[in-house]
Amino acid sequence: MKLTPIIAALRSRCPRFENRVGGAAQFKAIPEAGKLRLPAAYVVPAEDVTGEQKSQTDYWQDLTEGFSVIVVLSNERDEKGQWASYDAVHDVRQEIWKALLGWEPDPQAHEIQYAGGMLLDLNRHELYYQFDFT
């Protein structure tokens, strides 16, 4: 699956990020100066799942391609002294779902489906959360 259309869709359909959606190259561990301002999202390739070979004479196998959207949110305290990023993850998930779920960016692939999510990292300044899709 080509990830460029996914990046373009998130840039145009998720105003929260203000076009701050990058790819794997931008997410790679680079100096702080090279990271996008927050909030930001990064689209990276994920696990590919293959089915069994279906033919003994030809190559015929199902492939489910995966990708992840890693969001980086500010984890600064809000005016109440609470960590605002916990509620923001819920809001971001809804925005990303609206932008991607059910969409077929490639006519030869199935529509995008949500496969789960997990917290990657949390510190006093940033929250990293990964949303997985197939």
Q: What is the domain partition of the chain in residue ranges?
A: 4-50+63-133
pLDDT value for 114: 97
Backbone angles phi, psi at 93, to 5 degrees: -55, -45
pLDDT value for 79: 62
Q: Which residues of the chain have pLDDT under 50?
A: 30, 33
Between strands 126-133 and 67-74, the pairing is antiparallel
**Cα distance between residue 118 and residue 33, in whole Å:** 26
12-45 pLDDT, tens digit per residue, is 999 999 999 999 877 775 456 456 788 999 999 9
pTM of the model: 0.83
DSSP secondary structure string, 36-93?
PPSSEEEEEE---EE-----SSS----EE--EEEEEEEE--B-TTSSBTHHHHHHHHH
- Helix (H), strand (E) at residue 13: helix 4-13
* Single-letter amino acid, residue 86: Y
CATH topology of domain 4-50+63-133: STM4215-like (3.30.2000)
